[in-house]
Amino acid sequence: MATKNDGTKRRSTLLAALAAGAILAVPGSARADEVTPTAKGIAGGALLGGELVVFGEALFGVRSTTAYLVGAGAGAVAGGVGGYFVEQAVEDGRIPAYMLAGGLALLIPAVVVALDATRFMPTEGAREDRPVEAPPSDPGKPGGSSVVGAEPSTPPATTPGPGSATTPTTEPPAPTPAPAPSGGGGGTQAPRAPQASLFNVRDGNFYVGVPLPEVRPVVGSAERARMGVDNRGSELRFPVVRVTF
């Protein structure tokens, strides 16, 4: 019994789905919506009026940017007024719609034509500007200038007047020679050599100095090369007595 009821429900559901699909598939009655001409004619007329003026000026070879701006503005105003009267004269909005579509289609070509006509055009006979060839600056010489091409700033020579006397230049006095040290022969004494040992005897005189210790290798470089041996160590030399004959 339950199986029979389930089959009946399935057939009912399938029939309902088919009926709904058939209802949705039936096309409804087609009708055309009226196109309202509100503002379409004014906008399209303004665009077409400005574009016609721009194309006309480009054909006549106008190069002034101001002329294109003023002409396009005046043409847009005139075209907008004409588009308003077109809207009032027609019953449907087809013609204003066509005017708007044409104005939008010609907008980019009009801008390109205006920019091409107002671009910079070099005059006939124009030549390239080149920098003036000036001598290089030489600030190192006396009177030189760091500015390229500038004249050296040499001070003007002054000539003494008839009544002016020439002042002789006075040289500074020579330095007074230092007096000879007392106790000697009055001549220039040779500088004393530094005392390298603790006790030094030279020229019959006895000196006491500061010894200079020295660290050197036991075998010198010449001896190592001659005997073919390596350095075995270093030695410390501390001079105590030095006698010069």
Which pLDDT tens digit goes with each residue over 204-234? 787 777 777 777 777 777 777 787 777 767 7
Distance of alpha carbon 120 from alpha carbon 86, whole angstroms: 40
pLDDT score, position 48 = 92
Mean pLDDT of the chain: 72
DSSP string, 122-162: PPTT---------PPP-TTSTT--SSTTPPP-PPPPPPPPT
Q: What phi, psi does 9 have (nearest 5°)?
A: -65, -40
Identify the pLDDT of residue 1: 47
What confidence tier does 28 reach under pLDDT thresholds 50, 70, 90?
low
At residue 243, the pLDDT reads: 74
In this structure, are residues 96 and 41 in contact, taking their beta carbons and an 8 Å threshold?
A: yes
Q: Per DSSP, what are the bridge partners of residue 208?
A: 199
Q: What was the pLDDT predicted at 69?
A: 92
User: Distance between CA 147 and CA 139 in Å, rounded?
Assistant: 8
Task: Tell me the CA distances in angstroms from 67 to 61, 94, 109, one per residue in order.
Answer: 11, 33, 18
The confidence score (pLDDT) of residue 37 equals 61
**Angle between the N-to-C axes of helices 65-89 and 94-105, in degrees from 0 to 180, rounded to the nearest 10:** 160
Q: Which residues, 6 or more positions from 1, have their beta carbon under 8 angstroms from its beta carbon?
A: none
pLDDT per residue over 97-136, tens digit each? 888 999 999 889 889 988 888 887 666 666 666 666 666 6
**Residue 11 banded pLDDT, cuts 50, 70, 90:** low
CB atoms within 10 A of CB 233: 7
The H or E element that residue 11 is part of is: helix 2-25
The mean pLDDT of 70-90, rounded to a whole number, is: 91
Residues in the chain: 245
At 2 the pLDDT is 46
- What average pLDDT does range 28-42 have in this prediction? 66
Residue-wise pLDDT for 140-195, tens only, equals 666 555 555 555 555 555 655 555 555 555 555 666 655 555 554 444 555 555 55
